[in-house]
Amino acid sequence: MTSWLDHTVNGLIIGNIYALIAVGLALIFGVSNLINFAHGSVYMIGAYTGWVCVAAIGTPLPLTLLGVVVGCAALGILIERFGLRPLQGAPRIAPLLATIGIGLVLEQIAQLIFSPDPRALPSQLPAWRLPLGSGSIGALDLFIAAVGVVSTAVLYGFLRFTHLGWAVRATAQDRDAALQMGIDVHRVNQVVFAIASALGGLSGVLVGMYFNNIFPAMGFQATLKGFVAELIGGVGSVPGAVAGSLLLGLIESYGVALLGTSYRNLFAFLILIAVLVWRPNGIFSSTRQVPPEPLTGTFIAPSKPVHVPRWAYAAATAIFLALPLIWRDSYIIQTLTNAWLYGMLALSLTLVAGTTGQMSLGHAGLLAIGGYASALLALDLGVPVPLALLLAGFITAALGTLLIFPAFRLRGHYVAIATLAIGEIVGLVILNWEGLTRGPIGVVGIPPLEFFGLPLYDTSALYWVSFTIMVLLALLQWRLTQYHLGRALRAIREDDVAARAFGISLNRYKGLAFAFSGFVAGLSGAITAHMYSYINHETFNTQISLLALTMIILGGMGNIFGAIVGAVALIGLPEMFRAVAEYRILLYGIVLLLLVRFRPQGLMGTV
Amino acid sequence: MAARRMARVSSVVALLALLVLTACSAAPQAIAPTEPPVQPPTVPAAAAPPTTVPAAPTEQTVSSEPILIGVSGPLTGQNAQYGAQWKKGFDLALDQINRDGGINGRPLQYLFEDTQSDPKQTVAVAQKFVNDPRIVIELGDFASPASMAASSIYERAGLVQFGFTNSHPDFTKGGEYMWSNSISQADNAPLLANYAVTDLGLRRLAVLHLNTDWGRTTTDLFVAAVKARGGEVVAVEGYLPEEKDFRSTLTRVRDANPDGLVLISYYADGALITQQVRTTGLTQPIVASGSIYSPKFLELAGEAANGVYTNTNFFPEEDREEVRTFVTAFKAKYGEEPDSFAAGAYDTMILVYHVIKQAGPDRKAIRDTLATIKGVPSVIYGTVQFDPATRRISGPRNINLVIKDGTYTVWDGTLPASQ
């Protein structure tokens, strides 16, 4: 029985840490309706600022914390001023891409300055420990809890009782109305970013001290858990974020107690889906209805897509078909093959996220399903590879739609977070379902693609296969979205209430879109699996989902040709920057930011 | 308005073009610079690679063109720290090799392509390497999914893919051209079991392992080895590489009532667990796999590191010439202690040097020589000889260590006292 007490204490301790991150995220999300992917990087910068203070300058704790708070608040102001404010009039999706770019740049800079090696960040608090249950808690645990409680209380008071706080809340409720009432919304945004970033930095340094371990890539996982906690508690609610974090910590801890460590994250993400489905407003909210997020119609701003004449498409197709014959450099051909495979993924994503307006952050999960389905069909059941590919497409369509179905009633950013969780769940199930997937050892010796018994080893053959399939799928998608189906899907994107009033069954059309999307992504994953010959649960990771989203935003949401252009650009750029070695991802981030800044509607424009 | 927009778009295009141009013009710098053949005063004379290998007939072309080795590995992304360690090991070995005249007067150099250990980038890099006639052998990649995705490309092109960190049991089964000097877990796991069960007398063990292909393979072999020695494994917990909080896991482990904890971990996660073991109220001794061996482990685990047992294939204080040479030179060049990743990289470069010296800069001959080469000095193995059937090396050095007062010391036979 004592173990349950210990598990409870453990859960509260880690929940305490999630809370610090979740509060900052809640604040930004609440006011600017923005999933801030740069928050994790600010958190990391906070940790490194703390390290510089402690290890290099040797400041005492209060000064260290002050340094971190001031430094990160300034960073937040800079991010808001130069990264996000210029995108004010741009489609709502552009700032999201900008935060991805900013996060990438900050992370790379930290890595270049401090080296990628983890560093120790020693705690500056006294080392005494308080026995609790059969374990103990330290001064730092109590301090972190105190910081969490105090900052929540101060924030609550600020939002409730000060003029600026009222302005923040007014802006969160209705930005345009606030503007009309004479509120300087730029200043409000700036304040919000300063406070949230200061909190983010503070949590970075405290968590760094807690684990005595900081590294440049520490932000991503932390933000992921922060998001989960925040959504459980209720988006935008600061006390909800704290409560959600503690609850998440407890659930994880009990999950480990019941099933074992490898089920920990699976538990966290399943709980998230359950909460989103049953109480999308968070478990502490009184209403069960999704709030009318002011997203309809504004999420993707209409822009005039770049007009490309038909002969140009035909010419481009002909040139790329002939390319392996002309340019016999298998490095180029391989890179383009990768681009075509990612092009399929982007096609798949642009249909649901661009055309239908259902932002998916879990598309790598679909690749994984397709890849494993085809590999296991070919290896375990001896299905011929072409048939396995086709079956993999259908399996992914069915399974993917089924998995995403619970998220159909969600809107806007909630869909994004739900799909992110679903993507993680797919990876974790693959890791844990050893009987079928061979767990972490992975699937070895996947046969190569073949064409009527003739194995396709050749780089050019692979190129032609992926290019042809991609072009055929693109044509099919274009044909489908050109007429009735496309109009219905776009109607759902623009205003789902109006669409329903016109007799469009939301679930059926979303189901159709996700099924087609699943088929395309599944095929891409399957071809990839046969090309690699070895896959495991890490082959198709969350980074790929983010990359796919970046591709379609860059190309222009819903734009079929844009999706392919985006894929070629984002697969090609890091290869082009090879010569600058360690700096290439930094360069890639900067280019991304510039593209968003000057072409927020995407290279080819939204459709 | 439209004109302004056009101007903006064109400025972006111009900027992009500029970036691409700079990238292209910087290309030659990507080849790792090698030190000029002037003897650095800090490296002792003993640092010369021992020449126990009989000089084999090689091409007598008098050329000073460098001989190139392709390296595919992470310089950015989640695993960037390992790529950074590799570079240190490689550079040190090349300093010594090229100071002594390289290979028949031709300097040995490497071309490090960053892949972030991401399979889609390793396949592209593989194509790049196989097409580059200057490259005679390839090293890497870091993680198995990334390395094995590229294997078929190397195999078909007939370029050796030397996966020196690839312990996945199926890596070398990818083809005739897949070789590895990564320590086989079939060797290491029983040694660890020996230390824990036979030497330290721990009967009931709880295993915490990284839930990756490496961690899982090692754990399976370890559990079997423990049973063969009459021990019992009472709990097995696999954790994700990004996990930071282990308190719940440790409470679960405590309930299994083990005599000792076994960590199949890398240094960063191993340090986190070690720290949290004590704050969760567990007092059992910790035995960790040699992969935690790094000065970073001591730094990250702090006080809690004291009393941790580990056995390692590489120990800087081991009294052997290869080890002394490597460690002295490493400390002189970088001002820090080497870890096992740097040692592995150094060892690999020295091995590659001997192979190319004997085979000449020819891809096929290099493969054939790997099968026959004998007696190459090695920090990790003593001397190197491959089993041509498995294309791996067996019999790594093994030293039992315990951490005392924040340093690794050779275990003197004292049994753990806490039980």
Q: For A212, which of B27, B211, B300 is closest by C-beta distance? A: B300
Q: Are strands B309-312 and B286-288 parallel, antiparallel or unpaired?
A: parallel
Give which of A12, A21, A117 to mutate to test B binding, by max B Cβ within 10 Å: A117
Residue A366 lies in a domain: yes
Cβ count near A332 (within 10 Å) = 20
Interchain contact, B77 vs A584, CB within 8 Å: no
Q: Is residue B136 helix, strand or coil? A: strand
pLDDT of residue A151: 85
**Averaged pLDDT for residues A510-532:** 95
Interchain contact, A538 vs B11, CB within 8 Å: no
Same domain, A529 and A399: yes
**CA B133 – CA A172 distance, rounded (Å):** 61
- Domains identified in chain A, total number: 2
Q: For B80, which of A111, A135, A591 is closest by C-beta distance? A: A111
Interchain contact, A441 vs B211, CB within 8 Å: no
Interchain contact, B281 vs A133, CB within 8 Å: yes
Q: Is residue B137 helix, strand or coil? A: strand
Min Cα distance B364 → chain A (Å) is 20
Residue A255 lies in a domain: no
Q: Residue A573 corresponds to which tokens in the numbers above? A: 């750029």
Q: What is the ipTM of this complex?
A: 0.87
Model pLDDT for residues A235-255, shown as the tens digit of each residue: 777 788 889 999 999 999 999
Same domain, A54 and A184: yes
Interchain contact, A136 vs B121, CB within 8 Å: no
Distances, alpha carbon A326 to alpha carbons A90, A319, B379, in Å: 41, 9, 48
As to burial, measured by CB atoms within 10 angstroms (0-12 exposed, 13-18 middle, 19+ buried), residue A180 is exposed
What's the pLDDT band for A129 if we cut at 50, 70, 90?
confident
**CA A293 – CA A227 distance, rounded (Å):** 18
The residue from A236, A263, A279 where one domain ends is: A236
Same domain, A200 and A89: yes
Residue A178 lies in a domain: yes
Q: For B23, which of A118, A119, A579 is closest by C-beta distance? A: A579
Cβ count near A304 (within 10 Å) = 9
Cβ count near B53 (within 10 Å) = 17
Residue A316 lies in a domain: no
For residue A582, give the DSSP letter: G
Model pLDDT for residues B333-352, shown as the tens digit of each residue: 999 889 888 999 999 999 99
Distances, alpha carbon A262 to alpha carbons A258, A285, A443, B214, B249, in Å: 11, 31, 19, 15, 10
As to burial, measured by CB atoms within 10 angstroms (0-12 exposed, 13-18 middle, 19+ buried), residue B204 is middle
Min Cα distance A217 → chain B (Å) is 6
Q: For B145, which of A134, A253, A442 is closest by C-beta distance? A: A442
Output Rg (C-alpha) for chain B, integer angstroms. 23
Q: For A331, which of B83, B124, B212 is closest by C-beta distance? A: B124
Min Cα distance A571 → chain B (Å) is 9
Min Cα distance B185 → chain A (Å) is 14
Q: Write the CATH number of the domain with boundaries B185-312+399-410.
A: 3.40.50.2300
Q: For B302, which of A119, A212, A333 is closest by C-beta distance? A: A212
Residue A244 lies in a domain: no
Give contacts of B302 with chain A, Cβ < 8 Å.
120, 122, 212
Model pLDDT for residues A15-72, shown as the tens digit of each residue: 988 888 888 888 877 777 777 889 999 999 999 999 999 988 888 999 999 999 999 9
Q: Is residue A379 helix, strand or coil? A: helix
Q: Is residue A319 helix, strand or coil? A: helix
pLDDT of residue A286: 57
**Averaged pLDDT for residues A522-536:** 94
Q: Is residue B386 helix, strand or coil? A: strand
Distances, alpha carbon A227 to alpha carbons A12, A231, B22, in Å: 17, 6, 39
Min Cα distance B279 → chain A (Å) is 6
pLDDT of residue A30: 74
Q: Is residue B359 helix, strand or coil? A: helix
Residue of A nearest to B243 (CA): A221
pLDDT of residue A174: 80
Interchain contact, B124 vs A335, CB within 8 Å: yes
Interchain contact, B251 vs A257, CB within 8 Å: yes
- What CATH architecture applies to the domain B62-183+320-388? 3-Layer(aba) Sandwich (3.40)
Give contacts of A329 with chain B, Cβ < 8 Å.
131
Same domain, A335 and A188: no
Interchain contact, A213 vs B121, CB within 8 Å: no
Domain membership of residue A544 as a residue range: 331-598
Same domain, A232 and A343: no
pLDDT of residue A299: 52
Residue A192 lies in a domain: yes
Range B384-388 contact pairs with CB under 8 angstroms and sequence separation of 24 or more = B384/B181, B384/B351, B386/B179, B386/B181
- pLDDT by residue for chain B (419 residues), tens digit each? 444 444 444 444 444 444 444 444 333 334 544 444 433 333 333 334 444 444 444 444 456 889 999 999 999 888 888 899 999 999 999 999 999 999 988 999 999 999 999 999 999 999 999 999 999 999 989 988 899 999 999 999 999 999 998 888 889 998 999 999 988 888 889 999 999 999 999 999 999 999 998 999 999 999 999 999 999 999 999 999 888 899 899 999 998 999 999 999 999 999 999 999 988 888 999 999 988 998 889 999 998 999 999 998 888 888 888 899 999 999 999 998 898 889 999 999 999 999 999 999 999 999 999 999 998 999 988 888 899 889 998 888 889 999 999 999 999 888 887 54
Q: For A578, which of B113, B211, B237 is closest by C-beta distance? A: B113
Asked if the domains at B62-183+320-388 and B185-312+399-410 fall in one CATH topology, the answer is yes
The residue from A204, A221, A236 where one domain ends is: A236
Q: For B131, which of A330, A538, A585 is closest by C-beta distance? A: A330
Interchain contact, A587 vs B281, CB within 8 Å: no
Residue of A nearest to B168 (CA): A441
pLDDT of residue B418: 52
Listed in sequence order, the DSSP H helices in B34-137 are 80-99, 119-131
Residue A374 belongs to domain with CATH number? 1.10.3470
Q: Does residue A203 contact residue A21 with C-beta atoms inside 8 Å?
A: yes
Length of chain A: 607
The residue from A200, A215, A236 where one domain ends is: A236
Strand extents, DSSP E, A258-309: none
Average pLDDT, chain A: 88
Interchain contact, A579 vs B29, CB within 8 Å: yes
Cα(first)–Cα(last) distance of chain B, in Å?
A: 80
Model pLDDT for residues A204-213, shown as the tens digit of each residue: 999 999 899 9
Cβ count near A272 (within 10 Å) = 25
**CA B208 – CA A149 distance, rounded (Å):** 34
pLDDT of residue A433: 92
Which sign, positive or negative, has the C-alpha torsion A271, A273, A278, A283?
A: positive
Q: Where are the domains of chain B?
A: 62-183+320-388, 185-312+399-410
Give contacts of B270 with chain A, Cβ < 8 Å.
none
Give contacts of A433 with chain B, Cβ < 8 Å.
none
Residue of A nearest to B149 (CA): A532
Min Cα distance B396 → chain A (Å) is 24
